[in-house]
Amino acid sequence: MTSAAPSALLTAQELAARLRGVGEERYHHRHPFHLLMHEGKLTRSQLQAWALNRFYYQSQIPVKDALILSRCDDPEFRRRWRKRVVDHDGERAGDGGIERWLRLAEATGLDRERVATAREVLPATRYAVNAYLELVSRKSFLEAVASSLTEMFSRDLIALRMDKLRQHYPWLEGGLAYFEARLTQAPDDARFALDWVTAHATTRAEQELAIGALRAKCDILWAQLDALYFSYVNPGWPPPGAFRMEGA
């Protein structure tokens, strides 16, 4: 792929534009499951399936970031990146992004223990999330860092989502603290990662690897929503052993 690409180094602006182009085309703000959510067309049970599955993704974020930390020899980078582990795990029990996601799941009416065990998560969710762990473990360090650049696009999606959730599912209000925190955390993290990738992708081939890593991460997010849509919207066939909606 990269061998066929033109070899001129992109400027920082051109690289940022290419990355934004990937998001425009492939970030999951376009996914039909999110469109239904934002139109208020999901049932409470469908939101439960979403919260329960997405919990597995949330639960693996600090693991993903620890894998990135474990591959880095630079204390300065590590000091900056470890913030992400703190954001998700919190300073103490009852704090942090994972805890806040559990509270969102509770707001949908699910028991927190049921969610926390991740026992009813779709296998496809698990495979996609684990593919993210594989990516940050096995690809180049540059690609591992670049795969986090979906956060360039998450603020806008989260702002829209909070608005739409409040409008269509007001009973979720008590569970929105997760998104509130991400409104400032995500852009902050994205800025650092974009600056780092821009500085460390010093050949066109490396720039293309970074763009490819962002595309791969978008695929991972997209596949999670495909699986939710298939199992809980249309045709609505969760595989054996997975979460089943009430009355389904």
Residues that bind its own copies (CB under 8 A): 25-26, 32, 123-124, 126-128, 130-131, 134, 215, 218-220, 222-223, 226-227, 229-231, 234-235, 237, 239-241
**Which residue lies nearer to its own copies by CB, 14 or 134?**
134
> Measured from the CB atom, is 136 or 172 closer to its own copies?
136
Rounded to the nearest whole angstrom, what is the least distance from the CB of residue 223 to its own copies in the complex? Answer: 5
Which phi and psi (to 5°) does residue 169 adopt? -130, 65
CB of 167 to its own copies, least distance (A): 26
6 versus 235: smaller Cβ distance to its own copies: 235
* Token code pair at residue 71: 């591959």
Q: Smallest distance, Å, CB 235 to its own copies?
A: 5
Please check whether residue 64 is in contact with residue 132, taking contact to mean a CB–CB distance below 8 angstroms: yes
Q: Exposed, middle or buried: residue 17 (CB in 10 Å: 0-12, 13-18, 19+)?
A: exposed
- Which letter, b or e, does each residue of 169-193 get, where b requires 16 or more Cβ atoms within 10 Å of its Cβ? beebeebbebbebbeebbbebbebb
Return the number of the residue (31 or 100) whose C-beta is nearest its own copies.
31
Shortest distance in whole angstroms from residue 6 CB to its own copies = 20
The token duo for 177 is 């603290």
